[in-house]
Structure 1
Amino acid sequence: MRPGLTAKLFLAMLTVAVFTVLAMGVAARLSFDRGFLGYLAEQETERMQTGASSLATAYREHGSWDFLRNNPHAWLEAMRPGHFSGLPPPHAVDDQDQPGDPRERPPESSPPGQDDHPPPALPPMDAPSSISVLTGTDFRFALLDAQSRLLFGNSAAVTAMHSVKQAIVVNGRAVGWLVMLPLRDVTAAGDLRFERGQYRASWIIGVSALVLAALLAIWLARTLLTPVHRIAKATHALAEGNYTIRVEAIAHDDLGQLARDFNQLAVALEKNQRTRRQFVADISHELRTPLAIMRGELEALEDGVRRFDQEAIASLHAEVGMLSKLIDDLYQLSLADVGTMIYRKVELDLPKLLEGVADTFRERLRRADVDLQLNLPAIPVPVHADEGRLHQLFVNLFENSARYTDAGGVLRVSCRIMADSAVVDLMDSAPGVAEADLQRLFERFYRTESSRNRASGGAGLGLAISRAIVEAHHGKIDAHPSPLGGLWLTVRLPLENA
């Protein structure tokens, strides 16, 4: 079974934590080995040179090494840092003054009785284990005479493979050797415990960090991915057709914005579903009505109830015309929806176009007792548009007013220039449209509950087609209450030179 998003995020965060802990452990180890131990190595070299200089001064004062025999305090005093601070610095015993192997030099006479007394015993190596003791004279150093015989100090320093030797030179002659046990050997007991303690502490810290990182990764994975799981679950429901599903959007981050976008998508799909169902119902109704009338007329003619005369033919022709217009309007809307409505835009004079449409409706409006008032500018108003589509647009608007305006009313048409747009206003008289219905006038098949309904004719598609034409010309159409008591339609089209 493939791991989910939560498991992947948890493993990714845990892997990063593991590599981080390992990298910190390696870095700490390298820092300890190269930093701390390197620092001690530098200190031990300086300490050895200082000790050799101090012992050379002490030998010069006493004339031999007898002062050290059976006198550990003298050895400690001689090796104490700074005891002979007023004497020449360590460079007085530079390596260039050191002879080769002391066994190659002529033997030096030993003081009487030197071999009769063994060198004093030192404390055991596993005594104190602190760094200050590990680097002191108790364990680190041994003093040899000119014949490399042990006089005082740690005998292990003489036999150690990597011991460091420093000649003690007095008056140009090597009178002894100072041998220092390497730090790696002297710390074999005490520092081993210190090193193990450091490793143990590092492991405890590392494991604790990994446990904490695992807990934090689990919390973050659940916190971050819980909204994602909710959105994924809601998406599955939406894909199955449940458009009422919503996701709670609490956070104000990217996931919260994603939830809000999902809710907007669900709302749009729910609205589209309702619109589609309503559209199908409206289409069925609009097609059924003229077909029912035609079928009734034909049955009446067939049964002899109605005579086949000019009046019957005119009635059938009117219904066929209404059906044809409805089908043509639906076709126009389908073209607008898929963006395939053809536009051949040229420069044309808008007032001249309005004058031509007004002439077409002038006689019809006169018979309906509607006064047509034109207020058009004398100068040209150029627009870049498709002449046929604009003609269709204003025919629909004139048709809307001619069909719904009461007898004795007024239709006032004006054209003006505002900023970079040409504005056409069509105001008619009563009946008016309720304020709540104004923004829905451009919806398909929408008709108000007032006298502007199907009793006056029309399927409610003319204004929807008009809006599609205006928007295709990058314009805007709005509806407002008319000062004359009816409807005020405003069309804004960009000027040709805008």
Structure 2
Amino acid sequence: MRGRLTLLVAAVGVLVMVAFLVPLAVLVRTVAADRATARATADVQRLVAVVGTAGPETVRLTVDQFATDTGREVSVYLADGTVLGAPAPRTPAVTLAARGQSLTVESTAGREVVVAVQGRPEGTGVIRTVVRPAELSAGVTRAWSVLALLGALLVVVGLVVADRLAGTLVRPISALSAVSHRLANAELDARVEPAGPAELREVAGALNHLAARIQVLLREEREQVADLSHRLRTPLTVLRLEAESLRDPDDATRLTAAVDGLERAVTGVIRQARWRSTAAGGNCDAAEVVGERVTFWSVLAEDTGRTVTLDLAPGPLPVRLNGDELAAAVDALLGNVFAHTPDGTPFTVRLAAEADEVTLTVADEGPGLPPEPPRRGVSRAGSTGLGLDIAERAAGAGGGRLELSSGPGGGARVVLRLAAAPA
């Protein structure tokens, strides 16, 4: 944009300079020619008194001396046909001047100046001189060079001023763009300093107002989520009490575990809603989080006859992901194992550090992945795809990726790769 504005001003400046300098250059040439003609006429007028009163010999000597002093060739035509001074044939202008009329005409040799002289006994005499083209254009080239230099200087000054003015437009627009990108990256405290023309200041104010409004809406959303959490605690507590009051210990344990899972899922959703705008980024110890979640799920694994193999690298293993988000991802992956494999299916959880990333692998010996992994919100074989979606989002937030494959002996193999954080 800055370059285009500068180019536009340059084009306009050149057009204005051409429209101004071309007529001025023509005027300079005309003035120079008129000045040379006036000078030649004044020189010739000095001879009028001598030509009108003196004898032929005196006139000849005076004209020769005049030509020597001024370097201008002058011819004097007497009425009897005598030509004194520089020899030259009679031209139509001389013939016309012999009738008593002085004039200036253009000729192939230059500009011809003829002056009629009255008072001689034999009749009207004529004084003639020619202003050469070099004399007519004397100083014109230098004047044109000065005008061209002045025009170029004015265009350069215009470009500098245009670049400065364009900068006052481009800088506020760049600031607006930068703040917009920061807001898109969830930096809701980003604000732009209003600058530039009134229209851009108005846009900056509107963008700041939009950012403030988004903050207000998110704060209201978090408050509503907090209210929802309080409302859900009561029915969850009732379910827990009902589960604990069952007479069959196995049923009580199973139902209590289900209530725990429901409470954990609700808590995770609430926390995720609360932390979406404030808990982006952050680090945690993957070894600690994974170990804690596997320990939690080991109780349910024991109840369902599953063998859990935990291969946990010694910590700490810091990753670029919030601890609660990593815990939600681990719960989602382990929950898929329990949801989509028969009871008694063993599974393995392995956490390892590889170069600049930490990998979490969850592998089972179940029926394996479907031909097309489920998408979020699409039910297939009892799956909504929410678990893998949560894990994939966590992987993206942690600077990594989620990989799905089949194990060597069958079953599903899910690898969650996270970027390692500085210790």
**TM-score range, shorter-chain basis?**
0.3 to 0.5
Question: Which protein is bigger by CA-based radius of gyration?
Answer: 1
Structure 2 length as normaliser, TM-score? 0.48
Structure 1 length as normaliser, TM-score? 0.42
